[in-house]
């Protein structure tokens, strides 16, 4: 059971591949942690253990048939404003509950990838709040201090990860709900570019701004989940195809002045984070944050509160006593917004976005405190609107200005409360934020949530710093295949399962022992990509490995489905004569499964 103490997706998948851990065993461990902590206030409903094991059996059968399941057997949690078919969606309000027949798109893609849901998690009612205190299912507090708030509205999802029950969790983020709980619980929180992850099957807060977010212990795990859930959804009117538009981050915008509301520890920790960023080679550029702050004030002080009324106002009007009084006051405040108000607000936002765009001509990303301070539950209950407004100072503008954001841990105060920073970049800069954010996070000797455990996949992620090499394999070197020992004997580590870009084809080569595929890139071919595993090796191990690669194989550069590039096996074109095109089977495992039938 030792391997089960690691919560990271890469470490779990590697333990599965080596036979050191069985998926059913890990699932039982997750339920034991859940039961030890109790259902409330983290969970609104829990998937029965027998049902979760049945889902895992189905996933294992699919994998045996050759399907690609990059998140096989990984437990996760779902914020209770996303649909899980057959389980109630309450949005934190029991009177609002309904039982959907279909999964939210993000949930469906995770199940297709083999991940196993443990249940639905608590939230600030109707995703209205950054505090975690506005729910009939109980007040959520930080995993580090029961007197401090957990952050919201995705409070339960963050706590399910921070307490080590699940490896990752889905939240939503309209004003900072995927970032504030990450900061208060020593987690990574990804707020994607709007539309990058479909919001179909999500109870809306502000539909034009809402994003499905991800909580995990490391950036690497966020990237693994993002590779599964991101993607264009033609049935979601707000969905957008990914358009990576930024290279590596080298210029960081840091505000000339910041407000910490007297929290000297947070002020000191942010200054240290800026110095760490400099140490990683970033050039720090002073910026004026006022256009961003002015946009933030529009979210609740402008016409966008009417969008919350459009989402759930009719229900609240009909059931006022069933709704948390603070949530009721906020949402019903949108009744008086006129059409003229909405247009004036959109004009003002366009002006502020133009000013923000000029800032991003000078810098690649902003570096900000995720929150300026960490209030107590008592303070929030006494001043709910005032405390919430202060917490959103550096988060509320991000979706309004169509920006991407990644929150990462950045140390602890003297009283052992976590502090976090956020990288904010233009739309579709998600990959660049992740690459720099991982380096910044790892510069703090990071731990997982409240567990105190060091992150397990530091070696694979070190590739960004040039210490390791990522290698994509497509055939006999895959986990469980005859030549995989050539990787494991060199202490290579499995990073993730992924697919190539669409224009790659795979061939079963003739007269090879053991049987091998050949991967080639064919410009103009529009397929579904080929399944690969990405492994991490030290530079020395990579060198010795390449020295043994026989013809007709070569090591080149392979583009993955998320537009990243890694080293990988390719094949000399002359070797394809007499070979069978097996691209339609999805990968080598699919070919082997088809051949065995």
Q: Which pLDDT tens digit goes with each residue over 267-313?
A: 999 999 999 999 999 999 999 999 999 999 999 888 999 999 999 99
Q: What whole-number distance in Å separates Cα of residue 217 and Cα of residue 222?
A: 8
Q: What whole-number distance in Å separates Cα of residue 514 and Cα of residue 520?
A: 19
Does 524 lie in the same domain as 410? Answer: no
pLDDT (mean) for 362-380: 98
Does 480 lie in the same domain as 439? Answer: no
Q: What whole-number distance in Å separates Cα of residue 488 and Cα of residue 544?
A: 13
pLDDT (mean) for 518-538: 88
The chain-wide mean pLDDT, for the chain, equals: 92
Does 385 lie in the same domain as 255? Answer: yes
Structural domain contains residue 340 = no
Q: What whole-number distance in Å separates Cα of residue 299 and Cα of residue 448?
A: 32
Does 554 lie in the same domain as 478? Answer: yes
216-to-83, 190, 205 alpha-carbon distances in Å: 20, 9, 23
Of the three residues 445, 471, 505, the one that is the final residue of a domain is 445
Does 211 lie in the same domain as 108? Answer: yes
Of the three residues 445, 478, 513, the one that is the final residue of a domain is 445
Of the three residues 445, 479, 494, the one that is the final residue of a domain is 445
| Active site amino acids | 79, 153, 177
Contact 286/324 with Cβ under 8 angstroms? no
Whether the pLDDT of residue 549 is over 80: the answer is yes
And the tokens for 264?
């000297």
Q: Of the given ranges (415-424, 440-449, 543-552), which has the lowest mean pLDDT?
A: 543-552
Does 245 lie in the same domain as 132? Answer: yes
- Looking at 462-513, list the stretches that DSSP marks H as alpha helix, in order from N- to C-terminal side: 485-488
Pairing of strands 188-191, 211-216: antiparallel
Structural domain contains residue 314 = no
Structural domain contains residue 302 = no
Contact 265/371 with Cβ under 8 angstroms? no
Structural domain contains residue 353 = no
Q: Of the given ranges (263-272, 342-351, 439-448, 521-530), which has the lowest mean pLDDT?
A: 521-530
Straight-line distance from the first to the last Cα atom of the chain, in angstroms, rounded to the nearest whole number: 35
Report the percent of the chain where pLDDT is more than 90.
75
Does 523 lie in the same domain as 573? Answer: yes
pLDDT digits (tens, 9 = 90+) for 149-208: 999 999 999 999 999 999 999 999 999 999 999 999 999 999 999 999 999 999 999 999
Name the residue range of residue 387's domain: 23-263+361-445
Q: Which residues contact 430 (CB under 8 A, 6 or more apart)?
A: 190, 192, 193, 196, 226, 242, 244, 404, 406
pLDDT digits (tens, 9 = 90+) for 8-60: 998 898 888 888 899 999 999 999 999 999 999 999 999 999 999 999 999 99
Whether the pLDDT of residue 259 is over 70: the answer is yes
Mapping DSSP onto H, E and C, the string for 400-442 reads HCCEEEEEEEEEECCCCCEEEEEEEEECCCHHHHHHHHHHHHH
Whether the pLDDT of residue 458 is over 60: the answer is no
pLDDT (mean) for 551-564: 84
Structural domain contains residue 93 = yes
Does 254 lie in the same domain as 166? Answer: yes
Place of tokens 């212990």: 217
CATH code, domain with 378 = 3.90.1300.10
Among residues 380, 359, 378, 379, which one has the least CA distance to residue 368?
359
Does 470 lie in the same domain as 367? Answer: no
Which pLDDT does position 463 carry in this prediction?
A: 37
pLDDT band at 490 (very low <50, low <70, confident <90, very high): confident
Whether the pLDDT of residue 425 is over 60: the answer is yes
- Count of domains forming the chain: 2
Which pLDDT does position 3 carry in this prediction?
A: 42
Q: How many CB atoms lie within 10 A of CB 595?
A: 12
Contact 506/588 with Cβ under 8 angstroms? yes
Structural domain contains residue 336 = no
pLDDT (mean) for 514-534: 88
Q: Of the given ranges (230-244, 281-295, 405-419), which has the lowest mean pLDDT?
A: 230-244
pTM for this model (two decimals):
0.80
Does 371 lie in the same domain as 499? Answer: no
Contact 122/311 with Cβ under 8 angstroms? no
And the tokens for 288?
């004026």
Structural domain contains residue 6 = no
Among residues 370, 403, 365, which one has the least CA distance to residue 253?
365
CATH code, domain with 566 = 3.10.490.10
Structural domain contains residue 428 = yes
pLDDT digits (tens, 9 = 90+) for 87-142: 999 999 999 999 999 999 999 999 999 999 999 999 999 999 999 999 999 999 99
DSSP codes of every residue in 200-237: TTB--SSTTT-EEEEEESSHHHHHHHHHHHBS--TT-T
Whether the pLDDT of residue 460 is over 50: the answer is no
More confident residue, 543 or 352: 352
pLDDT band at 457 (very low <50, low <70, confident <90, very high): low
Does 549 lie in the same domain as 428? Answer: no
Does 124 lie in the same domain as 48? Answer: yes
Which pLDDT does position 5 carry in this prediction?
A: 57
């Amino acid at each position: 059971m030792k391997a089960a103490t690691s919560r990271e997706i890469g470490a779990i998948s590697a333990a599965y591949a080596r036979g050191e851990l069985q998926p059913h065993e890990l699932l039982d461990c997750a339920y034991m942690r859940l039961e030890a902590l109790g259902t409330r206030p983290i969970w609104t409903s829990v998937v029965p253990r027998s049902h979760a094991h049945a889902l895992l059996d189905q996933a294992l059968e699919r994998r045996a048939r050759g399907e690609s399941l990059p998140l096989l057997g990984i437990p996760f949690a779902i914020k209770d404003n996303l649909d899980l078919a057959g389980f109630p969606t309450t949005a934190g309000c029991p009177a609002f509950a309904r039982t959907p027949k279909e999964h939210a798109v993000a949930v469906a893609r995770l199940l297709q990838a083999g991940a196993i849901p443990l249940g639905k998690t608590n939230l600030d009612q109707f995703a209205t709040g950054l505090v975690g205190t506005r729910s009939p299912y109980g007040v959520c507090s930080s995993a580090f201090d029961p007197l401090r708030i957990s952050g919201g509205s995705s409070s339960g999802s963050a706590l399910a990860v921070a307490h080590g029950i699940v490896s990752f969790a889905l939240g939503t983020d309209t004003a900072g709900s995927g970032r504030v709980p990450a900061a208060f619980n020593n987690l990574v929180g990804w707020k994607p570019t709007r539309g990058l992850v479909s919001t179909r099957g999500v109870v809306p807060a502000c539909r034009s701004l809402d994003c499905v977010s991800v909580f995990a212990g490391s950036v690497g795990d966020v990237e693994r989940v993002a590779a599964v859930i991101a993607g264009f959804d033609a049935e979601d009117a707000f969905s957008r195809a990914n358009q990576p538009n930024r290279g590596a981050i080298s210029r960081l915008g840091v505000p000339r002045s910041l407000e910490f509301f007297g929290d000297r520890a947070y002020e000191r920790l942010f200054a240290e984070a800026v110095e760490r960023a400099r140490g990683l080679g970033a050039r720090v550029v002073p910026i004026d944050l006022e256009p961003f702050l002015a946009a933030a004030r529009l979210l609740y002080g402008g016409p966008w509160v009417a969008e919350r009324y459009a989402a759930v106002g009719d229900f609240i009007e009909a059931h006022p006593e069933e709704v948390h009084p603070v949530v009721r006051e906020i949402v019903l405040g949108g009744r008086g917004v006129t059409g003229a108000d909405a247009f004036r607000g959109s004009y003002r936002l366009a002006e502020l976005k133009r000013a923000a765009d000029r800032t991003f001509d000078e810098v690649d990303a902003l570096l900000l405190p995720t929150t300026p301070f960490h209030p107590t539950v008592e303070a929030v209950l006494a001043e709910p609107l005032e405390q919430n407004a202060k917490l959103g100072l550096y988060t509320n503008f991000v979706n309004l200005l169509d920006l991407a954001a990644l929150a990462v841990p950045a140390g602890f105060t003297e009283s052992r409360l976590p502090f976090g920073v956020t990288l904010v970049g233009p739309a579709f800069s998600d990959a660049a934020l992740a690459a720099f954010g991982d380096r910044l996070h790892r510069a703090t000797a990071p731990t997982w949530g409240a567990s105190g455990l060091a992150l397990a996949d530091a070696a694979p992620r070190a590739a960004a710093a040039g210490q390791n090499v990522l290698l994509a394999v497509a055939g006999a070197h895959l986990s469980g295949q005859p030549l995989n020992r050539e990787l494991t004997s060199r202490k290579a580590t499995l990073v993730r399962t992924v697919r190539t870009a669409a224009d790659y084809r795979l061939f079963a080569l003739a007269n090879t022992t053991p049987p091998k595929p050949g991967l080639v890139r064919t410009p103009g071919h529009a397929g579904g990509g080929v399944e690969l595993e990405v492994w991490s090796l030290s530079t020395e191990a990579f060198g010795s490995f390449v020295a043994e690669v026989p013809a007709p194989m070569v090591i080149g550069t392979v583009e993955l489905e998320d537009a990243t590039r890694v080293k990988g096996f390719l094949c000399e074109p002359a070797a394809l004569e007499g070979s069978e095109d097996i691209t339609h089977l999805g990968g080598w495992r699919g070919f082997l499964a088809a051949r065995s039938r």
